[in-house]
Structure 1
Amino acid sequence: MSFERPDTYSTSVLPGEAPSEDQFSEVIKAFRRFILEFRINNRFIYREQLRENILLHQYQLTVNNEHLISYHDELNKKLADDPAEMIPLFEQAITEIAKRIAYISSSDAPSTFPICQLILLSNDSRVSIRDLDAEHISKIVKISGIVISASTLHSKATEVTLMCRNCRHIMKLKIPSSFGFPQIPNRCQAPPQPNGSKSECPPDPYIIVHDKSTFIDQQVLKLQETTDMVPVGELPRHILLSVDRYLCNKVVPGTRCDVIGIYSIYQAKVRNSSTNNNAAIRNPYMKVLGIQTESDSITGGALSGVFSEEEEEEFIAMSRLPDLYDRFARSIAPSIYGSTDIKKAITCLLFGGSKKILPDSMRLRGDINVLLLGDPGTAKSQLLKFVEKVSPIAIYTSGKGSSAAGLTASVQRDPNTRDFYLEGGAMVLADGGVVCIDEFDKMREEDRVAIHEAMEQQTISIAKAGITTVLNSRTSVLAAANPVFGRYDDMRSAGENIDFQTTILSRFDMIFIVKDEHNTQRDLSIAHHVMNVHTNGGSADDQVEGEISVEKMKRYIQYCRAKCAPRLSEEAAEMLSSHFVSIRKEVKERESYSSERSSIPITVRQLEAIVRISESLAKLELSPIASEAHVEEAIRLFNASTMQAINNENADNAELTGQVTRIEGEIKRRLPIGWSTSYSTLRRQFVDKGSYPQAALEKALTVLERKESIQFRHQRMSVFRCGV
């Protein structure tokens, strides 16, 4: 085969010596031979790929760098060392072969046959964005990150036709494919007249004739480091990407990808600058040659979305383990003692349910949202940090340091074009993953309202600065919050402790109230566990055989989410519907006995929540059907979280309600209509002497005020009974 004789195509250029036309033609021939002759398993993959693309009128060829290395190592080295010179030659070779495929003879090909684009993919090791320096300039590098913004398409001139305004002299000027601005001659380049005279043309005489110029599509992207690449205390770095032709509109904000391109520099246009002090300063950017997302399947690739056969066999064997659910839950933050049900709920959140698109185009979310509400020191933030580490895509943020624009999307202005563009926030960048929001109660109310749509419809609607669009935010939300009074007050209702609107609470599939209860035996167990962690780096209980490593958990979650989308069986659906009717009836009866409605609602959203939990349990086992056993565990988890919070609210208020009723009757008996008394007197009579709790008196006065039986004067210094 021809690739066994690499010396046939070798060309050498001495340092400082410009390559000749013969050397260029040799390189073009070498690239042409590679396209025509490279084959795998007797299949000419690039020849066939180019033929298919030409038939579809797509003038492009996707080349894997590994194939070029195996075919002709020296040719690949030339491409890597001098890509700006070699890539046009590669594209010229592709175009010549495309002409032969599209037309019988090259003479039949039109003169305007488009230049075919080379799209390069590579399995080389990645370079961090913060490690790019002057040594990488004009070299092919591979970086990874997350796309945070994408500009609109604009036309980039590759060759412009210039005409002098005075003498009508016409000239063509090739524009290098970069961010820089074209250097148009400031003097007329017209040759002298036959009589030797030259026309007196003014300075900057040339204008661009657009209809005789050639343009290509170009788009500007901004790529930012992912959170796991950023050292502690550092800001994430970003770099501008220039994509053109068939690479445009391939990615949207929030896409995680690997980018192969030429690291280059350009001089930004400085407004109102009369000095050239910064003439030697250049800004970096990358001219993109190829984009690899997780969905791309590359031969021999090591992208996170591609699974080897060994991995698949291992995951299928793991899914058949009888105690996989418990083992997975134990592997969630093993250094944290207890909280078994919370860890099982987080397991369900990581796998998620099945998203559905109904015949009327309505979308039902499959992601599970969990709220942890409880006392300080109950390891809520530690659980959030662990989820950020184990989830394939995750963003951690704190409520106090997050705004509505930072969570959803912000509108920015391009400093060069002055156009507005969107920059995705946390919930857009975590599309397909988890957003961990700590200190959820410290968020401003208007910022919290901004994520209502993102939590249920999983979209973010933007209508500002003339931009009206909808962004995807298919994320799960894991939020942690403290009660209103710092600690959970059992003498107050859950509504007074939580202080969240019903609209946001109904969007959480599971709500856990985590209390720091004083139990001697439990405190002793926690103390032993913490001491073991501090002295041995992990307790003996954590070192159980079969514990799943964080990396394996991450890969298994990714595999299950990609390969499995369970549905409820008919028996499970019937069981679930009857259970929903019974809990609705129970809540209604409970509300009829008490004077207040529960602050935690039970709506159809909670029915869908149990469905999602059941599907996530089936997905954990790679089962296509969610059975009755899955529904039973989902109902148990729902009862241990949301229903337990409602039951606690009613159980805690049972005794308080009786005390409030008795105090209310005593106040009416002792205070006739039209009379007043001091608040301190009531407190002395009922709290100090009557041994009623302070909360009961406060509640009774609140109830009487609502019934318009009493009024407060001078900020509760006195109480006046006015009657109904």
Structure 2
Amino acid sequence: MSGWDEGAVYYSDQAHSWDDRTGDAASAAAADNHTILQKFKEFIRNFETEKNVFPYRESLVHNPKFLLIDMEDLDAFDADLPAKLRSNPSDYLPLFEMAAAQVLVSLKTKVAGDTGVMEDPVTGDVQILLSSKEDPVSMRSLGAQYISKLVKIAGITIAASRTKAKATYVTLICKNCRKGKQVPCRPGLGGAIVPRSCDHVPQPGEEPCPLDPWLVVPDKSKYVDQQTLKLQENPEDVPTGELPRNMLLSIDRHLVQTVVPGSRLTIIGIYSIYQASNSSASHKGAVAVRQPYIRVVGMEQANEANSRGPAAFTPEEIEEFRKFAAEPDAYKNICSKIAPSIFGHDDVKKAVACLLFGGSRKNLPDGVKLRGDINVLLLGDPSTAKSQFLKFVEKTAPIAVYTSGKGSSAAGLTASVIRDTSSREFYLEGGAMVLADGGVVCIDEFDKMRPEDRVAIHEAMEQQTISIAKAGITTVLNSRTSVLAAANPPSGRYDDLKTAQDNIDLQTTILSRFDLIFIVKDIRMYSQDKIIASHIIKVHASADATVGDNRVSKEENWLKRYLQYCRTECHPRLSESAATLLQNNYVKIRQDMRHQSNETGEAAAIPITVRQLEAIVRLSEALAKMKLSHIATEENVQEAIRLFTVSTMDAAKSGINQQVNLTPDMANEIKQAETQIKRRIGIGNHLSERRLIDDLCRMGLNESIVRRALIIMHQRDEVEYKRERRVVFRKA
């Protein structure tokens, strides 16, 4: 038994037979099969959607290679057929394919007869592909009870093997008597069952054939193309703390080479088992242990281009969406649905809304592709709800992957090359940027990433591709994804005493790829702190009350559906007047930044380049898309410029040089004054401001420098004024 089921050729002592039924049972089974075959032929020939419209007959004539069957149509024609297919697909699918081939031959003969030209009837295999509108089952729920049954699952392809030739019939020849024999191979990853002995009857004086006399004749065997894929659970379906599950898929014939890593798939297939070649058969019980895989008999890709068409939306939904988009305050309403539990940050919410909707992707005549996805960076103090925005986007975007910078490597973000243990060949596994193709990647702790890992996503952010050249594999993967990143300044808090370069501390190469960069500060104001505290207490108090209320989840689901509809239906372009307005504003922004660099004597932390002009174009298109408008107007451009000014422009001008109008020498003097003040005041001590200033002035410090140092320390909450500025108090 040690050689049983190890990959390619199987041996059996008995004469080969697919079943052990004899006599009446076998003839009854044959009669039943004949009846089913006739039903399948009748379905292909006679199923009509409208009067005299026969979709399957037409499809077979136009494309004789494969036939896509809708299970709902089969159910409407005969309720028994889908049940038989689901419970025993391995027996009934070959019958279905035989029926399709026979119908094709008769149709071709008929067509040839009608035209008066008698052609050779076209014979050959017709591949049956199934599709169904039923909901897919979870990959985690697949167990032994599903073996040999039809299942439907969804996931992301993370790897695809090279194409191999799989034998459907193996031609054998006996090395003793030279008698030939054809043995069928089981489909999928199964092999051929080869009898141990030759059935040749020896003549008197002739030597009998020995055991295992067969030689395989590869040239005379029949083959089909076969490929294996690795399907991983969708990131949103993986429970917290669990590793994502993988499933091996086997595809053949016309499904081969139709899928690249990163594609989202929904597949129908036969849940099967095979003996993994690397599992040792010498272990006790190893012969009884099998690895599961799915032999695919139907597949649909769920990427932006073909899955989110209008067919996915009901007429009532479309009517509701259009009615909502026609309202004058649609933009305001959408922004109010973005992270409603977060107080304030109105401009950040507007930016996140623009990121979710995105601009229009453009293909130029010379083959250059311009991205439509918007990238946003949130940089600032801790406890300013940056990570909450990322978590909200992960739940709301149709496709989203959340990752943390410290726990992500370059290979994990882009793609890795892995060697298959059994076949020893290399294959690609897509990382976060590939898996989020057509969606959003949320990267938390962006500043904690190693610089070499951060460099890996440069190409993915601008060209929206990932080029791989490793281990003899040279290829390009798609990563058409938006990036929402959150980062802290190097010192942990945003320091007003430092320049913008020191506070941001990211290379200009990565900063220029972000369309919007927000500096999020934790401003200490009594009135604002009181409102925020009140809001947070309300959120915590009402959290339990809304658990049973589905309103919030319905609203999230509505926003997700509206997002999908807008991204599918609407691809806005700038109007001429809006383009002129944008052009003039861009030139003015460049001039202002040039003047500022000349005055301060150093370049801006965030360069304003043509990429930033494209960013404003994308923002304008996203704002138009929110209202389902196909033209971005001047009003959209003005709002896009305002968003750009309050984010990227303010970030570029931030820091002490611009805020207090200081030279680097003055900044050093302020730091010295700050050190002296800290020496003078003990923790919790009171001291007169006037006396402190006089003491420091006697040491040779300038009074205005000391006052500025006190103001900056007060802003950072290191100094507190009591009794109308007469006393200074340093907090513990």
TM bucket (normalised to shorter chain) is 0.7 to 0.9
- 8 Å Cα contact 2:183/2:193 also seen in 1: no
Partner of 1:412: 418
Q: Which AA in structure 1 matches 2:614?
A: E
TM superposition score normalised by structure 2? 0.84
Query: What are the equivalent positions in structure 2 for 1:44-123 lying under 5 Å apart?
Result: 44-54=54-64, 59-104=65-110, 113-123=123-133
In 2, Cα distance between equivalents of 1:546 and 1:158: 54
1:24 aligns with 2:33: yes
- 1:106 Cα deviation after fit: 12
- 1:20 is paired with a residue of what secondary structure? helix
Partner Cα distance (1:171, 1:688) in 2 = 107
**After the TM superposition, which residues 108-147 of structure 1 pair with which residues of structure 2 at under 5 Å, given as runs?**
113-147=123-157
Deviations 1:508-557 (A, max 9, x none): 000000011111111001000001001122999xx9x9998111111111
- Residues 303 and 159 of structure 1, relative CA distance in 2, 3 Å threshold: farther
1:226-280: CA deviations, max 9, x gaps?
Answer: 1221111111111111111112222221121211111111111136654453100
* Structure 1 residue corresponding to 2:272, chosen from 261, 264, 277: 264
Taking the aligned partners of 1:423 and 1:275, their CA distance within structure 2 comes to 31
Residues 360 and 425 (structure 1), Cα distance of their counterparts in 2 relative to 1, 3 Å cut: same
Pick from 566, 590, 598: which aligns with 1:584? 590
Answer whether contact 2:47 2:54 (CA < 8 A) is retained. Answer: yes
Match of 1:655 in 2: 662
For residue 283 of structure 1, the aligned residue among 291, 294, 301 is: 291
SS at match of 2:151: strand
Q: Which moved more, 1:407-416 or 1:480-489?
A: 407-416
Out of 324, 327, 330, the position equivalent to 2:330 is 324
Describe the superposition over 1:460-508 as per-residue Cα deviations: whole angstroms up to 9, x where unpaired.
0000000000111000000000100000111001111111100000000
Retained in 2: the 8 A contact 1:461–1:468?
A: yes
1:161-176 to 2 correspondence within 5 Å?
A: 161-176=171-186
Structure 1 unaligned segments of length 5 or more: list them: 1-12, 667-683, 697-724
1:533–1:539 Cα contact (<8 Å) kept: no
- Residue 364 of structure 2 aligns with an amino acid whose one-letter code is L
> 2:257 is aligned with what amino acid?
N
Contact 2:460/2:466 (8 A) holds in 1: yes
SS at match of 1:516: coil
Amino acid at match of 1:690: L
CA distance in 2, matches of 1:39, 1:687: 101
2:315 is matched with 309
Counterpart of 2:203 in structure 1 is: 194
2:221 is matched with which residue: 184, 195, 213? 213
Question: Secondary structure of 2:616's partner?
Answer: helix
Contact 2:104 2:122 (C-alpha < 8 Å) held by counterparts: no
The 3 A distance-change label for structure 1 pair 695 and 469 is farther
**SS at 2:59's partner residue?**
helix
Q: In structure 2, how many angstroms separate the alpha carbons of the residues matched to 1:340 and 1:296?
A: 29
Aligned twin of 2:610:
604
* Deviates most, 628-637 or 74-83: 74-83
1:505 aligns with 2:514: no
Shift of 1:685: 9.1
CA 1:219–1:397 in structure 2 vs 1: closer, same or farther (change >3 Å)? same
Name 1:156's counterpart in structure 2.
Answer: 166
Indicate the residue corresponding to 2:393 in structure 1.
387
Hey, what's the Cα distance between the residues in 1 that align with 2:111 and 2:180? 33
Determine the C-alpha separation between the residues in 1 that align with 2:226 and 2:260.
15
CA deviation map 1:114-163 (0-9, x unaligned): 11111100112221000001111111111111111111211111001122
User: Is residue 169–residue 190 contact of structure 1 (8 Å, CA) maintained in 2?
Assistant: no
Shift of residue 103, structure 1, vs aligned partner: 2.4
Q: Quick check: 2:309–2:568 contact (8 Å CA) kept in 1?
A: no
Partner of 2:50: 41
* CA displacement at 1:52 relative to structure 2: 1.6
Question: Is 1:460 matched up with 2:473?
Answer: no
Q: Distance in 1 between matches of 2:355 and 2:342?
A: 18
* TM-score calculated relative to the size of structure 1: 0.85
TM-superposed deviation, 1:166: 4.9
Question: Counterpart amino acid of 1:426?
Answer: A
Residues of 1 paired with 2:302 and 2:668: CA distance? 62
Q: CA deviation at 1:193?
A: 2.4
Question: Would you say 1:367 and 2:373 are equivalent positions?
Answer: yes
Paired residues for 1:540-551 under 5 Å: 549-551=555-557
Q: Distance in 2 between matches of 1:133 and 1:106?
A: 50
Partner of 1:176, secondary structure, is coil
- Matched residue SS, 2:167: strand
Indicate the residue corresponding to 1:690 in structure 2.
Answer: 701
2:256 is equivalent to residue 245 of structure 1: no
Shift of 1:184: 4.1
**SS of alignment partner, residue 271 of structure 2:** strand
Q: Which moved more, 1:549-558 or 1:103-112?
A: 103-112
Give distance in 2, aligned partners of 1:510 and 1:370: 5
Q: CA separation in 2, counterparts of 1:404 and 1:554? A: 30
The amino acid that maps onto 1:102 is: K
Q: What is the deviation of 1:648? A: 2.0
The alignment-based identity, stated in percent, is: 50
Correspondence for 1:231: 239
How do residues 557-572 of structure 1 correspond to structure 2 at under 5 angstroms?
Answer: 557-572=563-578
Q: Is the 8 A contact 2:109 2:119 kept in 1?
A: yes
1:195 to 1:539, Cα distance in 2 relative to 1, 3 A? closer
* Contact 2:467 2:476 (8 Å CA) reproduced: yes
Supply the RMSD in Å over aligned alpha carbons: 3.1
Deviation at 1:330, TM superposition (A): 1.2
Gap change, CA 1:694 and 1:36, over 3 Å in 2: farther
8 Å CA contact retained: 1:242, 1:285: yes
In 2, the alpha carbon distance for the partners of 1:476 and 1:283 equals 38
C-alpha contact 1:160 1:208 (8 A) present in aligned 2 = yes
Tell me which moved more, 643-652 or 431-440: 643-652
Matching residue of 1:704: none
The answer (yes or no) to whether the contact 2:280–2:286 under 8 Å persists in 1 is no
Match of 1:699 in 2: none
- Aligned counterparts of 1:113 and 1:653: Cα–Cα separation in 2: 84
Indicate how the Cα distance of structure 1 residues 546 and 625 shifts in structure 2: closer, same or farther if over 3 A, else same: farther
For 1:160 and 1:688, the matched residues in 2 are separated by 99
The letter for the 2-side match of 1:235 is L
What count of residue pairs does the alignment treat as equivalent?
A: 655
Counterparts of 1:165 and 1:139, CA distance in 2? 40
Alpha-carbon offset, residue 690 of structure 1: 2.1
- Alignment partner of 2:181: what SS? strand
Is the contact made by 2:161 and 2:227 (CA closer than 8 Å) also made in structure 1? Answer: yes
Distance in 2, matches of 1:688 and 1:410, equals 62
Match for 1:47: what amino acid?
Answer: R
Tell me: CA distance 1:548–1:594, structure 2 relative to 1, closer, same or farther (3 Å).
Answer: farther
Which position in structure 2 is the counterpart of 1:472? 478
Query: Which residue is 1:482 aligned to?
Result: 488
Unaligned regions of 5+ residues in structure 2, if any? Answer: 1-20, 674-694, 710-732
Higher mean C-alpha displacement, 426-435 vs 639-648: 639-648
